[in-house]
Amino acid sequence: MEFNDNPAQAAWRNEVRTFLKDNLDPSLKTFTYMEEGESDTAALGKYRSALADRGWIASAWPKEYGGAGLGVMDQFILNQEFAEAGAPNLGGSGVMMLGPTLIAHGTEEQKKEHLGRILRGESVWCQGYSEPGSGSDLASLQTRAIRDGDDYVINGQKIWTSGAHRANWMFMLARTDPDAPKHRGISYFLIDMKTPGINVRPLINMGNMHSFNEVFFEDVRVPASNIVGEVNRGWYVGATTLDFERSSIGSAVGHRHNVEKGVEWMHEHRTDLSPSAYQSMKAQWSERAVEVQVALLLSLRVISMQARGEIPNAEASATKLYSSELSQRIARTSLATIGMWGGVTGNNAPMEGEAARTYLGTVASTIAGGTSEIQRNIIATRGLGLPRG
């Protein structure tokens, strides 16, 4: 692997840095992730239109759909520089998940109706996959969609639906053929969240935040034209990605920033710590700093495979597993550093309460997007070639 940029990559990195210097208002830098509708300041609007002019809201989408059509290496550099600058991501799951699916499988009408609105921030999407009995084993999902004239009528329940309370559209999977083998009887629907019969109920997480929800469907009528791809082939439609970079470089850079903040705090408050506690904290932060380098290298391994045209599979799982577990180790080290203050989340606490909030927030990181056990299964079977347990 070549660690240094070639001349073209260095020029591209420079272009991205210059853009951020000129367009990223400092007031936006506090956001590391933002769902549309959460905050809409004039600065954000200006930033959005500067990004949109370059196709950088959805840098992986083809240019004809408003993206920039970047190759994976250029996406990697862009994502790395955005993470370094603390720039917000816009577009959420509309850009990352629905857009590529529509581009690959959608009808012309579906593309025309939805892609531009995602880029303009007019539609906010949520992902309706998980159900109370179907998470890791998603293909066992039970929400039913039954054809009735030009519509399907949907009944069932989704759970852990991030942002459903802010979304105006949902892409979701429902069972359209209960007699088919479980992966084959599922279809992929686009649903307007204002449709009668949809009931969104909040779930408050252990950090006292409202980020996900339960969503109930009672006789919800959805036009058959809102199915993406073929009926009963939704499982395969849902698995679509464009040529997205999958290195998780943003997380690796975020981990480094968190370690730097923790180390800075430890040095600044050295006199509050006993000499032995200071030595112990230094040793712990040294381990975290080394682990951050490992996370960065795992990201580079994934991107170097993609740059060679290979599809990372167990390698992407290893990166997700390592990165999510590292986020929890960093959070634990932060709490140990600030001692009794670690239970306080308010802005007056050390590190503005971020250590405590991160500690609570990172618990979910080893569940969301596929649990650590599932990642280990993938590494064991597809990566190491071990038999299924």
Ligand X SMILES: Cc1cc2nc3c(=O)[nH]c(=O)nc-3n(C[C@H](O)[C@H](O)[C@H](O)COP(=O)(O)OP(=O)(O)OC[C@H]3O[C@@H](n4cnc5c(N)ncnc54)[C@H](O)[C@@H]3O)c2cc1C
Summarize as ranges the residues that interact with ligand X (CB under 6 A).
126-130, 135-136, 160-162, 212, 364, 367-368, 370-371, 373-374, 377
Which residue number, 11 or 368, has a Cβ lying nearer to ligand X? 368
In angstroms, what is the minimal distance from the CB of 133 to ligand X? Answer: 8
Task: Please check whether residue 68 is in contact with residue 95, taking contact to mean a CB–CB distance below 8 angstroms.
Answer: no
Identity of the residue, 303 or 364, whose beta carbon is nearer to ligand X in the bound complex: 364
Q: How far is the CB of 309 from ligand X (least distance, A)?
A: 29
H-type helices in 181-313, by residue range? 234-238, 249-268, 275-307
Question: How far apart are alpha carbons 251 and 324 in whole angstroms?
Answer: 9
What is the three-class DSSP state of 148?
Answer: strand
Cα-based angle 79, 86, 255 (whole degrees, multiple of 5): 80
Question: What are residue 190's phi and psi, to 5 degrees?
Answer: -110, 125
Cα–Cα distance measured from residue 248 to residue 110, given in angstroms and rounded to the nearest whole number: 29
For ligand X, the closer of residues 213 and 258 by Cβ is 213
Minimum CB distance to ligand X smaller for 126 or for 227? 126
Beta strand extents in 149-209 (DSSP E only): 151-159, 169-175, 186-192, 198-204
Of all residues in the shown chain, the one whose CB is closest to ligand X is 135
131: which DSSP letter? B
Q: How far is the CB of 213 from ligand X (least distance, A)?
A: 9
Q: Which amino acid is at 358?
A: T
Closest contact distance (angstroms) between CB of 388 and ligand X is 9
Half-sphere exposure of 104 (CA within 13 A, CB side): 16
Q: How far is the CB of 366 from ligand X (least distance, A)?
A: 8
Answer whether 61's CB lies under 8 Å from 55's CB: yes
What are the structure tokens assigned to 331, written together?
């959070």
Tokens 């199915």 correspond to 227
Residues known to be catalytic: 245
* Start-to-end CA span in the chain (Å): 34
Q: Do 302 and 246 form a contact (C-beta atoms < 8 A)?
A: yes
* Beta strand ranges found along 29-138 (DSSP E): 125-128
Cβ pair 282, 259 in contact under 8 A = no
Closest approach of ligand X to the CB of residue 85, in Å: 25
d(CA 82, CA 65): 22
Q: How far is the CB of 38 from ligand X (least distance, A)?
A: 15
Of 160 and 265, the one with the shorter C-beta distance to ligand X is 160
